[in-house]
Structure 1
Amino acid sequence: MHNTDPQLIILLWFILPVWLAAGFCDWLCHRATGIERTTGVKETWIHILMFLEMGLPLLAALFLDVNALIIAFMIVMFFLHEITALWDVSYAVSARKVTPVEQHIHSFLEMLPLMALLLIISRHWNEFLALMGLNDAAGSFDIRLRADPLPVTYIVVIFSGIILFELLPYLEEYFRGRRYQKKQSS
């Protein structure tokens, strides 16, 4: 890894940690508003869908060479995530209070993926131009592991953060909602 690459440093050490922190803060907001008693498991499924919509491009960026195919995939997933985020908020406000703090956290959860996508595109500008048909060179559409793999330590730390601050909290949210559903139906 090139320690002097400012775009990569910003992606790995700023955007991704702040994004994880925002996701955890969003979960705290859900917990504070008693999501299990309002929108329940349905909203949690929407959150899990958004986790996958951003998690898959993140995995691609961490482990694969970024080329025209990966950039196209990231762009499509970003827009799917935005559509799902609109669905999420529309559903949430129909049954529970979405506080100004939670709304502000949502702005981070929408803009940080865009910032990451733009930094990735800028790092692989020729592939993006090829994808858009804006240069004479052909873009690559191969799926290959990164030629310059990220350090194992970074991968372990970031995956630990994902598990601790995203996966486990949202699984807890799901099981809390399921328990409430069962309690209400008995």
Structure 2
Amino acid sequence: MNTDALLIQGLLYVFLPLWGLAGFVDWCCHRATRIEATSGLKESLIHSLMGLQVGLPILLCLLFEVNVLVLLICLAAWVLHELVAHWDVHYAAPRRHIGIWEMHAHNYLASLPFYMLAMIAVINWPVVVDLLTLDWAGRLSLVPLEAPHGGAGYLPGYLAFMALVAVFPYAEENLRCLRHALKRRRTAE
């Protein structure tokens, strides 16, 4: 197995699942600190935004060839994710307790996207050179992969895994926070 194939396997079977699991631990911490009664819906929606900011580049890299366009989207999403992550903690810290487990989850949620982006850059080094030298001609379109990474069953399996550990839990968090906000509003009236 060559180095690129090894890095791709590491991305698919180590880093991507770890990112999902870190998100699940973070959700468990939010639930334990009763986010709905403290920082509320605003913070929960921030979490969903951050999931989309990392989820979109992941899907792009799983479905399309990494070219200048995909790499630019990945870089922009990573920068925006970092900015929103800082905003999230700045917003949440005075409103609720952020415990040690949540801090550890945040460490993984912040560092894993950076490591994945670095690995994608190493695997696709000629694309990085094209990006840096502004040789973008013909490299700004979405080109579907001929063969999916990890084989035909990987993407459905990964999406199902992410639905269980991230999409459904964070949707539940949004709904829980929304219900609590509506109940609080009715009580105040």
- TM-score of Structure 1 vs Structure 2, range by shorter chain: over 0.9
C-alpha contact 1:39 1:96 (8 A) present in aligned 2: yes
Alignment of 1:93-108 (within 5 A): 93-108=93-108
Change beyond 3 A, Cα 1:137–1:70: closer
Q: 2:84 corresponds to which residue?
A: 84
> Structure 1: which amino acid aligns with 2:174?
Y
**Distance (Å, rounded) in 2 between the aligned partners of 1:12 and 1:75:** 19
Across the aligned residues of Structure 1 and Structure 2, the Cα RMSD in angstroms comes to 1.9
Runs of 4+ deviating beyond 3 Å? 136-139
- In the other structure, the counterpart of 1:26 is 26
2:148 aligned with 1:144: no
When residues 180 and 173 of structure 1 are mapped into structure 2, their CA distance, relative to the original with a 3 A threshold, is same
CA displacement at 1:149 relative to structure 2: 1.7
User: Aligned partners of 1:155 and 1:142: how far apart in 2?
Assistant: 21
- Residues 65-103 of structure 1: CA deviation (Å, up to 9, x unaligned): 001111111011100000000000111102000012211
| Segment drifting more, 78-87 vs 46-55 | 46-55
Residues 131 and 139 in structure 1, CA contact (< 8 A), matched pair in contact too: no
Contact 1:68 1:127 in 2 (8 A): yes
1:137 Cα deviation after fit:
9.1
Partner SS state of residue 153, structure 2: helix
Stretch moving more, 142-151 or 106-115:
142-151
One-letter code of the match for 2:89? V
Q: Distance in 2 between matches of 1:178 and 1:123?
A: 42
SS, match of residue 24 in structure 2: helix
Distance in 2 between residues matched to 1:162 and 1:183, nearest whole Å: 30
The one-letter amino acid paired with 2:142 is I
Matched-pair contact (CA < 8 Å) for 2:15–2:116: yes
Taking structure 2 as the reference length, what is the TM-score of the superposition? 0.92
CA distance in 2, matches of 1:56, 1:15: 16
Distance in 1, matches of 2:181 and 2:164, equals 25
Identity, % of aligned positions: 37
In 2: Cα distance, 1:128 partner to 1:185 partner: 51
Structure-1 residue corresponding to 2:124? 124
- Mapped to 2, the partners of 1:3 and 1:71 lie a distance apart of 20
**CA-CA distance at 1:179 after TM superposition:** 1.5
How many matched pairs? 184
Tell me if structure 2 keeps the 8 A contact 1:74–1:117: yes
C-alpha distance in structure 2 between counterparts of 1:185 and 1:140, whole Å: 51
Q: Secondary structure, in 3 states, of the residue corresponding to 2:65? A: coil
Matched residue, 2:182: 182
1:51 paired residue number: 51
| Whole-angstrom CA distance in 2 between matches of 1:117 and 1:103 | 22
Could you state the TM-score of these two structures normalised by the residue count of structure 1?
Answer: 0.93
